[in-house]
Amino acid sequence: GQQLNQSPQSMFIQEGEDVSMNCTSSSIFNTWLWYKQDPGEGPVLLIALYKAGELTSNGRLTAQFGITRKDSFLNISASIPSDVGIYFCAGQISGNTPLVFGKGTRLSVIA
């Protein structure tokens, strides 16, 4: 089946540092999404990307939909302690197909 390779698996950073994580696939997706999961909760949508090449920001978060439609990255600038959690990328072929999720990037922020 389709798989998304998400990296890194985990990262430890100092508060204030910028963070970058990415997701690649051998298949084309027409939608890329980034979710964040806090402990004990379900994943929450951060950013949705619907067009190849699209660059979208949400506060300190910036995500891009790769031009080949096989990859996406998420950047977090000036990290803060509440950025701690697991970040998931997800790809979707069409609105009628389910999302395919990456394995997640576990982010730890050291104050």
Partner 1 sequence: DAGVIQSPRHEVTEMGQEVTLRCKPISGHNSLFWYRQTMMRGLELLIYFNNNVPIDDSGMPEDRFSAKMPNASFSTLKIQPSEPRDSAVYFCASSRTGGDSPLHFGNGTRLTVT
Q: Nearest CA to 83 among 14, 7, 5?
A: 14
75 makes contact with partner 1 (CB under 8 A)? no
The 10 Å Cβ neighbour count of residue 22 is 19
What totals of helices (H) and strands (E) does the chain contain, helices first? 0, 11
44 makes contact with partner 1 (CB under 8 A)? yes
Stretch that binds partner 1, among 16-24, 60-68, 76-84, 88-96 (CB under 8 A): 88-96
Binding residue for partner 1, selected from 43, 66, 85, 91, defined by CB under 8 A? 43
- Choose between 40 and 59: whose C-beta lies nearer to partner 1: 40
Q: How many residues bind partner 1 (CB under 8 A)?
A: 22
Determine contact, residues 33/48, Cβ cutoff 8 Å: yes
The two three-digit tokens of residue 94, written as one number: 């069409």
> Contact positions toward partner 1, by CB under 8 A?
31, 33, 35, 40-45, 48, 50, 88, 90, 94-96, 98-99, 101-104
